[in-house]
Structure 1
Amino acid sequence: MFHPYFLVASILLNYFIGLLATTASNNGGFTVELIHPDSPKSPFYNANKTFTGRLNKYYPNALQSQVTALNAQHLMKVSIGTPPVDIYGIVDTGSDIVWTQCVPCDGCYKQINPMFDPQKSSTYSDISCQSGQCRLIDSATCSPQNLCSYTYVYADASIAQGVLAKEKVTMISTSGQTVSLDIAFGCGHNDTGTFNDHEMGLIGLGGGSVSFVSQIGSIFGSNRFSQCLLPYDTDPSIASKISFGNDSEVVGDGVVSTPLVAKEDKTPYFVTLEGISVGDTYVPFNSSRKLSKGNVLLDSGTPQTIMPFDFYDPLAAEVQRQIAMDPIKDDPDVGTQLCYRTKTNLDGPILTVHFEGANVQLMPLHTFVPLKDGVYCFAMQESDGDVGIYGNYAQANFLIGFDRETMKVSFKPTNCTKQ
């Protein structure tokens, strides 16, 4: 999860159920603007593996929602309930959960927008402990009211707790037509931690069988999606996009691809990082032992790129060597981060990320972000883990395609403010 300068991992509950309203294109795809299947386990399939979601009808044009880029996150707007209430959720490729804060929410973190009130919606219904959806959750518990309760705990001590429910999600297509679908989602009643007051919940795009993407699957043409994330501090009136289905395939000049690595944990999108070049100087990910496949995961919900210290240390040292300025020292706001004082954007070296079979070039826009006025910090951080996290700062201004059928991720340099 998703807070600048915090690493969030080690999830106790790697679950959620979420499916948003969709619109199909002529070849089965659809598009949602950002503000990051046919599985028989999906809550929208019955015992006969028949899809039980309910669409009003399909439309040949794209489905879109408003984007807000705020505090290094990308918030997608959807409307839930009857009458509809607007929800802004963090788009996160590092998890499967979809949830929003609901009334009553005693002890919840403060949010600016009104919380969703189930009692004011005519289409809301709770999910019982005996349901198939509840049995999919390893850590699910049964409330005294026989409701399916979930708990999602993050490494920074943020907690999302609530009950599973079914509800109608409504979105607007590019032609102005309304598209709606019954979903299962998390109604949060006790959410605490590092969430900010503009974030009303989360939309999980992970690889688990109950994520947003997995539940859509071949219904919309193919099991793939793509995203084009905006750079940090982009004007919030500018939208970026995420697309689902056949239309989301990333092709054309400049596209490079790397294999997705399947592991026991199905949620993260693992890829293999061989090393990073700072200018012309190559820094290997692992110089002392055999390179492990799937040593990095792609996470739109984590702003910074976080790498094992034995790779980060020589990488940061080389970045510092190639910058003709003295880094900041003895500033409590900076701490141990590699930061510089400058009146303009830092003119740092170009970094080339060497994934297996794909070289991705990062400009200073990706690698140095403002900590405060006149201070720019290296947008990477070290950890004592073995697996790195490729965060959303580094993903900005790339059209990135996650193809779960051919098991590859594709990158295409793109001005996402123009998409």
Structure 2
Amino acid sequence: MSPLNLVIYFSILLHSSYAQLITEEKGLSLELIHVDSKRSPFYDANLTDFQRIVRSIDSSKSRILWLESMMIFRANPTIIRPPLRAIAPAIFMVAIGIGSGHGLRNYYLHIDTGSSLTWTQCLPCSTCFPQSAPMFDPRLSPTYRVVGCDDPVCKPPHYKCVNNRCEYHIEYYDDTSIDGVLSRETFTFQDAHSSHSEDVRNLVFGCTHSSHMNYRGNPAGIFGMSQNPTSTVKQLAALTHGLFSYCLFPPSATRASFLRFGHDIKPPRGGFLSTKILEYNDPEGFYYLDVEDLSVNGRRMHFARRTFARRSDGTGGFIIDSGTAVTQLTVHALDGVEHVMKDYFRLRLNLLPVNDSSLRLRLCYKMVQGIQHRLPTMTLHFRNGANYDLRRSALFMNYAEKRSFCLAMMRARE
């Protein structure tokens, strides 16, 4: 699911603490940088806004195919994964320091709630994608350690023992993969609201020595945030009380986006409802939400409960994903939403859909004056009675150069 300008609070239970913390339990805030923001060190001023939107949608399509293939492969491990395009980078980056002494290097990593491991490219690297920062050299850092085969984190299916060390081979797409050594190192997190930095020793991460991918955007790797025990947010639980939150804003926003941990999380004032993150014993550790139904412009859709439920074979379900810019719904659900949307635009605004394949999305209209304040709304209804009203800016893509807008949703496999 897309970043919906939504504040999400995650409570994570850590079965065992892998990281060693220098300070007492406290809070921490890290600034998140959108890949298309002018705040990004990799901002490409030559791209038009239309090109950025199209690139974002194409990346989301690739990522959705990967998410689907992971679920299908889990349900049918004997099938061959479908051929997919090169890895689609995530949307937001975070700056992290890795190593100590002369080996300390600062890197921008893509945050990914669908990845179980934080990794960066390391020397020596046989086949690596180009990056702007020097590759991490473990020989220069006195705190670097290789994870041995007897370490409790060295477990299949992600990791295996080779020559007394724990190695990994992670496939993101067909013929798109990374290989490396599971390692431990000191990470430095710079607090966004002060000059204070937090050093975390003995953090498990991946030292990638071979990468077969076309990784656009120049960040040096992935900041893993899944529910898997080796993800960085899981390992930080002793520091953060097992809590993290993020509030995401579009690249044009003047306000910064933040990833907050522990005591830095400030609950909204007044009464608010929460919904539970569903946990399953899956290697991927995706974040599933218990969505019961949708409403469009106040009209309840009355979808069957199974529409958004996870099936017994591990397919289906409703997940929130930091690397997808558009929402994905099943064919039945999206057809129902589009039917109500079309009726609204035709009967109330006298608008008919336009057919323009360059926009990349299914339901699009020409922009008319004042339309921004007359667009329909959508509400997510969770099983525990909590509701979330989506902002119109999260529900529709605005193509200013084309004077068009589209419903920011795509079809998923059934």
Same fold per superposition (TM over 0.5): yes
Distance in structure 1 (CA, Å) of the matches to 2:160 and 2:34: 35
Indicate conservation of the 8 Å contact 2:178/2:208, yes or no. yes
Equivalent residue number for residue 85 of structure 2: none
Specify the code of the residue in structure 2 equivalent to 1:358: A
Contact 1:279 1:351 in 2 (8 A): yes
Question: What is the 5 A alignment of 1:117-196?
Answer: 117-134=137-154, 136-143=155-162, 146-155=164-173, 158-173=176-191, 174-182=193-201, 183-193=203-213, 195-196=215-216
Return the TM-score normalized by structure 1: 0.69
Residues 359-380 of structure 1: per-residue CA shift (max 9 Å, x gap): 1111220012246832433221
- In the comparison of the two structures, how many residue pairs are matched? 335
Matches within 5 A, 1:241-320: 241-248=258-265, 250-253=267-270, 255-265=272-282, 267-286=285-304, 292=309, 295-320=317-342
| Alignment RMSD (CA, Å) | 3.3
Percent identity at matched positions?
28
* Contact kept? 2:35, 2:217, Cα under 8 Å: no
1:338 to 347, 352, 363: 363
The answer to whether structure 1 residue 203 and structure 2 residue 223 are counterparts is yes
Q: Does 1:79 align with 2:105?
A: no
State the Cα distance separating 1:345 from its structure 2 match: 9.5
Matching residue within 231, 234, 238 for 1:214: 234
Match of 2:81 in 1: none
CA distance in 1, matches of 2:116, 2:239: 19
In structure 1, what is the Cα distance between the partners aligned to 2:243 and 2:362? 36
Secondary structure of the 1:315 match is helix
In the alignment, which residue of structure 2 is the partner of 1:95?
115
* Structure 1 residues 117 and 340: CA distance shift in structure 2, 3 A: farther
- Quick one: distance in 2 between partners of 1:97 and 1:286? 35
CA contact (8 A) 2:2 2:320 kept: no
Q: Which amino acid aligns with 2:32?
A: V
Unaligned runs of 5+ in 2: 4-8, 37-55, 57-90, 311-315
Contact 1:69 1:234 in 2 (8 A): no
**Alignment-mate amino acid for residue 329 of structure 1:** N
1:227-281 deviation digits (Å, cap 9, x = unpaired)? 11112x335x742122222443634325222233333327122222122211132
Given that 1:110 and 1:196 are in contact with CA atoms closer than 8 Å, whether structure 2 keeps it comes out as: no
Q: Does 1:68 pair with 2:68?
A: no
2:158–2:170 contact (8 Å) kept in structure 1: no
Go from structure 1 to structure 2 and tell me whether the alpha carbon gap of 1:216 and 1:340 turns closer, same or farther (over 3 Å shift).
same
Which residue identity is paired with 1:351? M
Letter in 2 for 1:169: F
Secondary structure of 2:252 counterpart? coil
Give ranges in structure 1 of 5+ residues lacking alignment. 4-30, 32-36, 45-52, 386-419
> What is the CA–CA distance in structure 1 between the aligned matches of 2:242 and 2:231, rounded to whole Å?
12
CA 1:230–1:129 in structure 2 vs 1: closer, same or farther (change >3 Å)?
same
Match of 2:394 among 366, 369, 379: 366
- Equivalent residue, structure 2, for 1:39: 15
Structure 1, 303-312 or 118-127: larger mean CA deviation: 118-127
